[in-house]
Structure formats: structure tokens, C-alpha cells
């Protein structure tokens, strides 16, 4: 290929990677910088517009929304889910991603798409181990991930900080400040990433620099304690507590109902058999590692708050020395955001939802679980990952009042880094700007939506009290 022919081909490739038209263009005008495009978006969607609460419209009542979200779940586990959601308003928010997506659908968006978590509340950030056992901190729940408006993740995160602060006993000024600081950290981090060379920006804000970058020094002691606990939170430790030795010297999971229970042989065989498909979803260099393990048992284990009632299994594998590796095989349902995505955003109803979750996670995290993959069990899609892979988390609702805003800044910075892997940080930074207009607007939204969530929670508690919904508390 001669030089003149090669250049249009390279340009076409660049447009395809960016998602633009792939055909050659004649006399194309000099493109505007992404930063300038972002600035221009302010005329159509003023940053102050993000303060507006969602319209009431045809919003379903909270109890009906919870009932709808329970459809398709294991019926016996639904009361556990309802019980966990009824514990606090923050717990209600954690289980109501679909209801908030319904509400956010009526709020302003710039139209800038990113791979979003879809459930970016403050408890969905945490520590986990990389392939060499080093601890990483990042978003860690992607059940609802989709291509969507970056504003939705930011508003959900800011709202969750207000609710977590209220639960922790912080005053209202502190709670609003936490939401304000969350957005400010997101905005400043996006501006930093926009200024860096692309390769540097991709992996910027190393975890050891996160506390300083986010000015979260009051949180340093808490993070160190969580890190120490996370280092011992491994498959081996879980297996030591959750399994028992059989007469033939093998091991199996011990019943601990309703959280951990044994399953019929046919169900266990279906889960174990699905791991052949799972292996096909992994990079080839992982296969020799897993080939050195043998499957010994399968059990059903209840997980999460919003996830309760979905089918979730743990699989016990042992190596030649009897050392365990536990995999989690977790049902992947369609994202709760899917019906509510604004016009212009893709709505991919078809396809494997385990694959959607895995690829979304890999697109947002700097480092993902090295054994992350997907499979199908009896026609249902599942994601597969290591269980207890040195996982640790901060309980935002248990933080001291002077730590809430630190935690908000830290998670806001992490969310910006995650969004910048799929959306050009120059574009979002151009829109967000230098001043605090967006910070103030989203903080105002967060306080108003936290009030709405408290009312929703009260409706759920009343429904339980009057016998409309069954709830199992404390499980």
C-alpha cells in the first residue's frame, strides 16, 4: 500500500475505534477538540439543570417497584431480600437500582455515553486482590452495567453518600458536603485525566496515591484496617469455615441455611458441567492453572442486597495438595437500567448477560479478577469469578462524620477513572468545567433524592407491617 492510500485507511481505523463513521471523508473540516465540544454542551444542558429532582409523572409506588423487581427470583429467598432492603433507607437504595433508573430517565443528560456501573452507590467500591495478590481498590459490582449516561452513576453515588451519612448520624450540612465533595472529586479527576497523555491517564491515580489525590487523609487509618482484614479474606479461609471433611477424606460444603445450602446432585452436576463453557470465556493462559484443580462440591449461597433471590453458587476446587480455590457462579439478569436508557443510547436486549457483566467490568476497572468469565446453567446466563479474592470494603454508613466527605472524594475520583476508560475525559471535563456549578447542582439533587428514598423506605416498612409483603429480618 502506498503512502497516500495508507493514510485514509489509518484514519478510518481511528474513527471506527472511536465509534464514528468509517468511510473516507473529502475535505473534512478541522475537528473541534473534545474539550470544546464538552463546553458547548452546557448551552443545551446547563450544569445547574442537574439540580432538578426527577418529575413525579407516572412513577410507580415503591412497594410495587420492589414487587416487580422480585419477579423471576427464587421465591423462598424474596423475603430475605425484602428484609435486607427494609433495614435502612440506604439499604433500600442499594436494592432499588431499577426504581432510581426510572426516575433518572426524566432528568437532564448531556448525551455523552460511557460504560457505567449502573449501581454506583457508596458500598459498591472496595478492595480485592490482583493476580499477584496485591490489593486494588475500585468499583466492584457490575450486575447493572450498561452503556449509559455518566450522570446517572454520579447522581446515584452522591445520593448514597447523603443516605450513608444520615445513617451514620452526621448532620445535614455534613451529608450535603459529602455529596458536593464527591462530585468535585469526580470533576477534578476528570480534568486531571484530560490533561495527561492517553497511556498515563489510562492507569492514573495509582491506589497508593489515592488518599493524597482525593485529600482523604482522615480515612487513611480506616483503609489500612480494611486492607489488613482483606489480605486474609481468601478462598482458603472461607473453605476452612464453610466446608467439612467427608468419610473418604474429601471435603464438601456444610449446610448453613438459609445463606449456604447443599443442592440436589442434578443441580450440582449442571453447575459443574457449565464450567467447560466458562473455560472458553477465559484467556488461554489461564487454562493450565485451572487444569490443576479438581471440582469437589457445589452449594447454593445467598449474596448481596439487590442480588438476593438470584441464583448463586459456590464451587469448591482443590489442588493436588488439597488447597482450595472457590469460584462463585452467579446468575446474570438483564440490567435494571435497560428499559429506561434515554433515546440515543444502545438497548441491547439480546446476548449473554454474564458476558455483558464481565466485559463491562473489564472495561471500567484498571485491574480485574484474572479468573473472571461467564457461562450458562440450564439456559440461564451466569458470571463466574473468584470468591473471597481478598475482598474488603468500607461500610460508608459506619464512618465517623469527619470521614464521610473523605470517602465521597475517594469514590468520586475512582468513578471518574472508571468512566474515562470508555468516554473521552476531555469531553466530560470540558462539560464539567473549573467551577463548582455542577458540584452544587448534583449535591442539591442528591439531598432531594435521599428524601424521596427515605419516603420509599417508609412505604416498604409500612407494607411489611401491614402484611402486604413478607420480610425475613436479620438474615
Q: What is the pLDDT of residue 27?
A: 53
Contact 126, 137 (CB under 8 A): yes
Does the pTM exceed 0.85? yes
Q: Which pLDDT tens digit goes with each residue over 271-282?
A: 999 999 999 999
Q: What is the pLDDT of residue 109?
A: 97
Contact 123, 161 (CB under 8 A): no
Q: What is the pLDDT of residue 320?
A: 94
Q: What is the pLDDT of residue 28?
A: 58
Spatial CA neighbour of 447 closest among 163, 170, 171: 163
Q: Which pLDDT tens digit goes with each residue over 332-355?
A: 999 999 999 998 898 776 799 999
Those residues whose C-beta lies under 8 Å from the C-beta of residue 399, and which sit 6 or more positions away, are 164, 168, 219, 222, 407
Q: What is the pLDDT of residue 99?
A: 97
Q: What is the pLDDT of residue 455?
A: 97
**DSSP characters over 120-178:** --GGGEEEEE-TTS-EEEEE---TT-EEEEHHHHHHHHHHHHHHHHHHTT--HHHHHHH
β-pairing, 380-386 with 146-149? unpaired
Q: What is the pLDDT of residue 105?
A: 95
Q: What is the pLDDT of residue 22?
A: 40
Which residues of the chain have a pLDDT value below 70? 1-30, 349
Contact 139, 120 (CB under 8 A): yes
Q: What is the pLDDT of residue 385?
A: 97
Amino acid at each position: 500500500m502506498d503512502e497516500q492510500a495508507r493514510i485514509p485507511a489509518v484514519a478510518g481505523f481511528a474513527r471506527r475505534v472511536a465509534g464514528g463513521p468509517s468511510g473516507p471523508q473529502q475535505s473534512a473540516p478541522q475537528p473541534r477538540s473534545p474539550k470544546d465540544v464538552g463546553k458547548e454542551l452546557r448551552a443545551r444542558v446547563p450544569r445547574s439543570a442537574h439540580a432538578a429532582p426527577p418529575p413525579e409523572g407516572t412513577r410507580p409506588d415503591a412497594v410495587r417497584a420492589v414487587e416487580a423487581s422480585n419477579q423471576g427470583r427464587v421465591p423462598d429467598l424474596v423475603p430475605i431480600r425484602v428484609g435486607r432492603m427494609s433495614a435502612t433507607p440506604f439499604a433500600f437504595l442499594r436494592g432499588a437500582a431499577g426504581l432510581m433508573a426510572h426516575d433518572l430517565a426524566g432528568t437532564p443528560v448531556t448525551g455523552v455515553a460511557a460504560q457505567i456501573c449502573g449501581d454506583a452507590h457508596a458500598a459498591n467500591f472496595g478492595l480485592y486482590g490482583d493476580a499477584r495478590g496485591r490489593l486494588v481498590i475500585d468499583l466492584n459490582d457490575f450486575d447493572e452495567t450498561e452503556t449509559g449516561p455518566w450522570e446517572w452513576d454520579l447522581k446515584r453515588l452522591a445520593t448514597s453518600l447523603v443516605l450513608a451519612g444520615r445513617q451514620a448520624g452526621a448532620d445535614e450540612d455534613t451529608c450535603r458536603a459529602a455529596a458536593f465533595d464527591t462530585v468535585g472529586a469526580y470533576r477534578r479527576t476528570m480534568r486531571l485525566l484530560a490533561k495527561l497523555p492517553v497511556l498515563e491517564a489510562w492507569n492514573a491515580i495509582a491506589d497508593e496515591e489515592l488518599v493524597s489525590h482525593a485529600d482523604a487523609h482522615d480515612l487513611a487509618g480506616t483503609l489500612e484496617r480494611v486492607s489488613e482484614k482483606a489480605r486474609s479474606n481468601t478462598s482458603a479461609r472461607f473453605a476452612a469455615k464453610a466446608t467439612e471433611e467427608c468419610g473418604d477424606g474429601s471435603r464438601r460444603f456444610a449446610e448453613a441455611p438459609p445463606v449456604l445450602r447443599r443442592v440436589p446432585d442434578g443441580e450440582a452436576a449442571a453447575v459443574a458441567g457449565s464450567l467447560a463453557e466458562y473455560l472458553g470465556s477465559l484467556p488461554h493462559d489461564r487454562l493450565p492453572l485451572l487444569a490443576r484443580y479438581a471440582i469437589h462440591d457445589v452449594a447454593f449461597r445467598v449474596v448481596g442486597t439487590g442480588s438476593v433471590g438470584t441464583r448463586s453458587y459456590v464451587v469448591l476446587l482443590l489442588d493436588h495438595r488439597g488447597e482450595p480455590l472457590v469460584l462463585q457462579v452467579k446468575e446474570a439478569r438483564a440490567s435494571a437500567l435497560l428499559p429506561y436508557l434515554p433515546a440515543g443510547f444502545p438497548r441491547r436486549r439480546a446476548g449473554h448477560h454474564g458476558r455483558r457483566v464481565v466485559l463491562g467490568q473489564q472495561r471500567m476497572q484498571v485491574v480485574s479478577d484474572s479468573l473472571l468469565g461467564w457461562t450458562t446453567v440450564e439456559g440461564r446466563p451466569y458470571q463466574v469469578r473468584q470468591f473471597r479474592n481478598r475482598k474488603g470494603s468500607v461500610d460508608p454508613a459506619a464512618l465517623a462524620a469527619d470521614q464521610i466527605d473523605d470517602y465521597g472524594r475517594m469514590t468520586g475520583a475512582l468513578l471518574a477513572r472508571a468512566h474515562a476508560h470508555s468516554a473521552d475525559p476531555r469531553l466530560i471535563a470540558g462539560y464539567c468545567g473549573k467551577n463548582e456549578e455542577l458540584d452544587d447542582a448534583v449535591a442539591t439533587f442528591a439531598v432531594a433524592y435521599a428524601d424521596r428514598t427515605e419516603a420509599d423506605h417508609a412505604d416498604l416498612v409500612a407494607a411489611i407491617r401491614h402484611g402486604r409483603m413478607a420480610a425475613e429480618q436479620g438474615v
